[in-house]
Structure 1
Amino acid sequence: MINQTESLRIAYLTPEYVTEPKFDGGLANYLARITPFLHEHGHHPEVFVLSNRNESLEHNGVIVHRVKGVVATSAQVIHRIIKRAVKLRFDSTVQMRSGARCLATRLLQRHREHPFDIVQGSDYGATGLYIPRGRDFPFVTRLSYFRPFMRECAGVASTVDHRIAEHLERSSVQRSDICYGPSRRIAEVVRQRWNMPVEIIRPPVQILNGDRPEDESVFREQIGGKNYVLFFGRVCRVKGADLLASIMRPLLEEDESLHLVLVGREQPEGIVEKNRAELGPYANRLIHIGRLPHPQLFPVIRHAKAVLLPSRIDNFPNVCIEAMQVGQVVIGTREASFDELIVDGENGFLGSTESIPSLTAAVRRALNLSPTQHSQFGDAARRTLQAFVPEVTIPALCDFYRTVIARRSSRN
């Protein structure tokens, strides 16, 4: 039985992390937040991330093992034969299996050298697919993505490759002792579709105290003194970026000084131009800025009149938390777990992706707030986040880990 106060050695398997240049998603940022907090609380987290090289390094006090996801030659040959014979592609499947295998190999090697108390994987990328069933450590999975639902919300047709990838991710989750997620929304979906029990454990949120370095150069050069509503994050259909013009056009008609600012990378390209076309005569009031590092992003968030995040689905969204951290008024959607952070009319506003007028009305309510009311909403948003500070959430997560460890020990 592990002592309730002793430190834990925790391994995290992930397809993405902030040390890798092409990754900036929610999973990468979540792990980049949680692992330093665990380290500060006396624990020993180590991250195993898919990379283009094999090496170990230290990042913010945390050991990170970069693992090269090498596709076996036999798998490459089989994939080429299938593509030529039946014109089917299995890129996701091949990459997922090879990545999961390489992560498991490196993890087990490290575990033999310095045993872990517990290992955590993600559903995204099927990171636990090759974790041995006869292992001598507990394995938990955090639900970060749930591919079938995300694909449906993205409006992407199901292919054979997609269905196999979804099967692999489900198989990976089924190997775990237990799974958990940060939001009730995703937990409910997984319970219904996969018939699996899901714990809910909130992620840690650091309350900003004003001493973070900020760089206002991008804000000054590209936005300046403009009056604007902000969307930031991945510019894609899942995040509702394709709805922005429909939501904002009536408001741009009403206020000739109002602009719409988008910050983030398009996935796929074309969504920004689609919004411009739908804005018609107001297209010149859409400003698109690419992905920004946080020191440049926070001034853009802070100076906005409001932040519009019309996601079709989300999982306790980082973008909402980041906006609330700086006291911004957020307009979110009821379908996407924003209602687990926002109380409509108290610390933000809610609408529905099934009713564009409801989102337009919610933005209008935010724009009509007086400076005093805006400040009150911002203060309420910051107070909401107090429930998720590391002093609360890290002990809760570690208690969860210890419970899983104890259950497995009692069975063995």
Structure 2
Amino acid sequence: MHIAFLTPEYPHEKVLNSGGIGTSIKNLAVALAQTGVTVSVVVYGQTEDCVFEENDVTIYSVKKRKYKWATWYFYRKYLESYLNDLIVSEKITLVEAPDWTGITAFMTLKAPLIIRFHGSDAYFCHLENRPQKRKNFYFEKWGIQKAKAYIAPTTFAGALTKKIFNIRNKEIVTIHYGLNLEQFRDNGTHQEENGLLLYIGTIIRKKGVLELPGIMKYVIGQNPEARLILIGNDSSDITTGASSTWELLSDGLDDSLKDKIEYKGKIPYEKVRTYIEKAQVCIFPTFAETLGMVTIESMAMRKPVVNSNIGWANELIVDGESGFLVHPTDHKTYADRIVRLLNDSELRENMEKKAEVRTHEKFNIAKTVEQNIAFYKKIIGT
């Protein structure tokens, strides 16, 4: 079996910025290769054409092409030709692609196509209750229609995507993203910092970052020692048109919060892990996710998490056991859960243990890779 992943991102120094999609694909690609499956990753929209290998995975970087008109169409057709050449020359048996932007619209591939619901623009627009450009909707719908079957990281994401695009008579299976848990083992050498809260992810409205000042005012009112660090790429704000969501957030901070909320920007992943180790609580008040890699990574590193209670999150955390689930706009309750964890070391330690157990039960790549292989074999009929 030879699986090819088509993706706009992948964590590697030769590839442009990568986020949760790239991380989840890399985790799976490396795990598949370790079981003996041949794996290729085609990363489109890059600055150069090149081919390299890492962890027994062959990575094809495909430069972004520009055309005099209809680049959205002709670049997809270029990728179609590129993929079909690889399918023939490298004997690829199955291609997996994301739903985001409908990259597979207008493509007819020479191997079965699976779409994984990492989160389409339509999906996020629905969760955020904002309009979507009609063109984007139809690109995603056409791209999804090209697939033989679908994989969703949560049942919630699968059901909502099925409803949005009116998917009929095609199988949707739920397979959670997986982690190599050996990489997240607690070695007991780190020292937590009292009152340190951590947010990791894009600085963007849909991740709930603009709710953080309201939450922090309640937290500091009960625990003046608390402080919050944010790590991740800054983003423009779709609602106000501001070029920087961080500036939008920081400009609205009153004096009581200016020294309590710090933004570190985008930093190397290994450094992110040191911040997770130092944090007492990780907080993710997001409005829109399909699963949320940073949540399960934090849980795997034995960190109590206060997360959103919307849809998908109920499949990650058992509220009150392996973490807390609160709606992002309920600032007082959200803050109360944080303060409980900061002030009660016994509660915090108990939740840390249960969070780690939860990741081993649900998100162990050793288990999820076998689920993926079984589904791939079913689709290609072996």
Same fold (TM over 0.5): yes
Residue of structure 1 equivalent to 2:232: 264
Question: Residue 210 and residue 326 in structure 1: after superposition, are their counterparts in 2 closer, same or farther (change >3 A)?
Answer: closer
**For 1:189-239, what per-residue CA distance to the aligned partner results, in whole angstroms no more than 9, with x for missing partners?**
1122212252211122211366799999xx9xxxx9563211111111111
Question: Residue 225 and residue 119 in structure 1: after superposition, are their counterparts in 2 closer, same or farther (change >3 A)?
Answer: closer
**For 1:366-390, what per-residue CA distance to the aligned partner results, in whole angstroms no more than 9, with x for missing partners?**
22321x3322211111111112222
Residue of structure 2 equivalent to 1:56: 51
Match of 1:291 among 247, 254, 266: 266
Question: Residue 151 and residue 210 in structure 1: after superposition, are their counterparts in 2 closer, same or farther (change >3 A)?
Answer: closer
Q: Partners of 1:214 and 1:56 in 2: how far apart?
A: 39
Residue of structure 2 equivalent to 1:5: none
Question: Residue 353 and residue 255 in structure 1: after superposition, are their counterparts in 2 closer, same or farther (change >3 A)?
Answer: closer
Match of 1:204 among 157, 172, 178: 178
Q: Partners of 1:164 and 1:74 in 2: how far apart?
A: 16
> Helix, strand or coil: the match of 1:314?
coil
Question: Is structure 2 residue 6 aligned with structure 1 residue 13?
Answer: yes
Give the C-alpha shift of residue 246 in structure 1. 0.8
Structure 1 regions of 5+ residues with no counterpart?
A: 1-7, 76-93
Q: Write the letter of the residue equivalent to 1:340.
A: E
Question: Residue 230 and residue 211 in structure 1: after superposition, are their counterparts in 2 closer, same or farther (change >3 A)?
Answer: closer
Q: Write the letter of the residue equivalent to 2:195.
A: N
Residue of structure 1 equivalent to 2:33: 39
Structure 2 regions of 5+ residues with no counterpart?
A: 237-242
Q: Partners of 2:359 and 2:193 in 1: how far apart?
A: 29
Q: Partners of 2:183 and 2:82 in 1: how far apart?
A: 39
Match of 1:113 among 84, 89, 94: 89
Question: Is structure 2 residue 116 aligned with structure 1 residue 148?
Answer: no
Which structure: larger Rg? 1
Question: What is the aligned length?
Answer: 369
Deviates more, 1:334-343 or 1:149-158: 149-158
Q: Is the 8 A contact 2:181 2:365 kept in 1?
A: no
Give the C-alpha shift of residue 173 in structure 1. 0.6
% identical aligned pairs: 20
Give the C-alpha shift of residue 329 in structure 1. 0.4
Q: Give runs of aligned pairs for residues 350-365 of structure 1, distance below 5 A.
A: 350-365=325-340
Question: Residue 211 and residue 184 in structure 1: after superposition, are their counterparts in 2 closer, same or farther (change >3 A)?
Answer: closer
Q: Write the letter of the residue equivalent to 1:34.
A: L
Q: Write the letter of the residue equivalent to 2:22.
A: A
Deviates more, 1:190-199 or 1:48-57: 190-199
> Helix, strand or coil: the match of 1:72?
coil
Coordinate RMSD, CA, aligned: 2.5
Question: Residue 228 and residue 336 in structure 1: after superposition, are their counterparts in 2 closer, same or farther (change >3 A)?
Answer: farther
Q: Partners of 1:149 and 1:136 in 2: how far apart?
A: 28
> Helix, strand or coil: the match of 1:103?
helix
Q: Is the 8 A contact 1:53 1:66 kept in 2?
A: yes
Give the C-alpha shift of residue 149 in structure 1. 3.0
> Helix, strand or coil: the match of 2:107?
coil
Question: Residue 384 and residue 208 in structure 1: after superposition, are their counterparts in 2 closer, same or farther (change >3 A)?
Answer: same
Give the C-alpha shift of residue 402 in structure 1. 0.8
Q: Give runs of aligned pairs for residues 208-219 of structure 1, distance below 5 A.
A: 208=182
Question: Is structure 2 residue 225 aligned with structure 1 residue 240?
Answer: no
Q: Partners of 1:225 and 1:13 in 2: how far apart?
A: 41
**For 1:351-409, what per-residue CA distance to the aligned partner results, in whole angstroms no more than 9, with x for missing partners?**
01342333222222222321x33222111111111122222111111110111111xx8
> Helix, strand or coil: the match of 1:400?
helix
Residue of structure 1 equivalent to 2:360: 386
